[in-house]
Each structure stands twice: as C-alpha cells, then as structure tokens.
Amino acid sequence: MHSLTPILSTIIAAFLASFVEVVEAFTIVLAVGVTRSWRPALIGAALALVLLAALVLAFGPLLALVPITILQFVVGVLLILFGMRWLRKAILRAVGVLALHDEEAAFSRETTALHQQANDRRADYLAGVASFKAVLLEGVEVVFIVIAVGAAHGQTLYASLGALAAFILVMLIGLAVHRPLARVPENALKFVVGLMLTSFGIFWTGEGIGADWPGADLALLAIFAVVSLASFAFIRWLRSTAPTGGFAR
C-alpha cells in the first residue's frame, strides 16, 4: 500500500486499540503505585515492556519469510476473529446485555486486594507481579494488533508509531492526574476498533485469496462503512427486541 489512506488507517487502528489496552493496564499499575509504592509498580511494568519488545523483535522479522498472499490471508482471518470479538462485546454493552467496563471499579478492586496483602512479607513482590501481569496481558493484545495490522503490507513501523503514541498519551495524562482514566469512552473506542480490525481483516483476507478490490486501497473505506451499518442495524434490532424494561445487566 503506497497511498495515504491505508497508512492513516493503520496508525489510527493501532492507536485506538493500544489506547484502550494501555488505559486498562495503567489502572492496575496506578493502583500498585498509589497503594504500595511506585518502585514495584514501575519495575513490574518495565519487565513486562522488555518482554513485549522481545516478542516484537523475535516474531516481526519472521513474518518476512512467509509468502505475502499466505500472510495476508492468515492475518486477515485472525483480524476478523479478533475484531469481531471486540465488536461483539461492544454491541452487547451498547444494548445493556453486558455491563460497561468501569476503570474506577477496577482501580478499587485492585487497591482493596493490595491492602489485604499489606502485612504479607512478600507484599512488594506481589505488587510487582500484579503490575507485570497487567502490562503483559494487555500488552500481548497490543503486540498482536501492531504485528497483524502492519505485517500484511509492511506497515509495522506505522502501526508501532500509533501504539507508541497511545502509550505516551496515556502515561502523560495518567501520571498528571494520578487517577484512573474513567472518563475515557472505552466502549465507544472498542466499538470503533472492532469495526476497523474487522474491516482490515475482510480486506486482507480478500487480497490473500486473490480478490481484486474496486478502488484498490479505497475499498477499505467502503468495507468499513458496510460493517458499521450492519453493526448499527444489529444494535437497533437488539434494542427493538429487548423485553420491557430493557436487557438485564
């Protein structure tokens, strides 16, 4: 892809997806830092980031050995599955089947657990492990998105820049306010990311099986529009079929 549209869409998809994951990881790291101390919080987070960087460095170059059509097909299918998972949860939250994710509640749960461990001689170790696990688990999704979104057309650098921008933005805002980023419209972001990943997946799966998309790269916009309309129609249908009083949460 050499046009500007795919590059921008790659950066935006990686940024939004990474932003959501970094917000969730930051909530745990912040809870550890505020409740216990910043030393185990930062050490745990740093170790996780080193491991994630090693994964990118290890698996990124290996993808270059895979024939492009096979890579496009495999990555496309994975992105469809990954994007549909995000989209499904966002739709179910939008219609009230699932409760909205609450960063304040997650922060409260983590601080309560850390307070209960306060008298444990391994308290610093356990706090560091909590920070490490949070960053690693959320970071693995970021790594997958960066590699998958960027690999099919050699745009891993642009995807990485989007993820890095999200990481820096969340860290700057979070460290400045020292509070969970509860006002982030997380479900809306997950909905958009689900739409984008699913659209990328459809586009690249088509390229992998030899489809000749009308308009070439601009077909991404048309696919995104179709997936968006279908998703909004599904939400409207679910709401119209909800029992009186709405869905139970």
Q: Rounded CA gap, 182 and 180, in Å?
A: 5
Summarize pLDDT for 231-244 with one digit per residue, the tens.
999 888 888 886 65
Q: Is the confidence at residue 186, as pLDDT, over 80?
A: no
Q: Is the confidence at residue 247, as pLDDT, over 50?
A: no
pLDDT at 211: 81
For the chain, how far is it from start to end, CA to CA, in angstroms? 43
Q: Rounded CA gap, 132 and 124, in Å?
A: 12
Task: Name the average pLDDT for the chain.
Answer: 77
Q: Rounded CA gap, 228 and 235, in Å?
A: 11
Q: Would you state the structure tokens that stand for residue 28, as one six-digit string?
A: 């745990």
Averaged pLDDT, 207-230: 86
Q: Is the confidence at residue 248, as pLDDT, over 60?
A: no
pLDDT at 59: 73
**Considering only CA atoms, which of 87, 129, 134, 125 is closest in space to residue 107?**
134
Question: What is the percent of the chain where pLDDT is above 70?
Answer: 78
pLDDT at 229: 94
Q: Considering the entire predicted model, what is its pTM? A: 0.67
Q: Rounded CA gap, 55 and 49, in Å?
A: 10
**For the chain, what are the domain ranges?**
4-238
Q: Is the confidence at residue 174, as pLDDT, over 80?
A: no
Element (H, E) at 187: helix 186-208
Q: Rounded CA gap, 201 and 209, in Å?
A: 12
pLDDT at 173: 76
In the numeric block, the tokens 């990954």 are attached to 82
Q: Rounded CA gap, 135 and 24, in Å?
A: 9
Q: Rounded CA gap, 73 and 76, in Å?
A: 5
pLDDT band per the 50, 70, 90 thresholds, residue 2 = very low
Per DSSP, the residues of 204-215 read HHHHHTT---TT
pLDDT at 225: 93
Per DSSP, the residues of 43-98 read HHHHHHHHHHHHHHHHHTGGGGGS-HHHHHHHHHHHHHHHHHHHHHHHHHHHTTSS
Helix %, strand %, coil % of the chain (to 5):
80, 0, 20
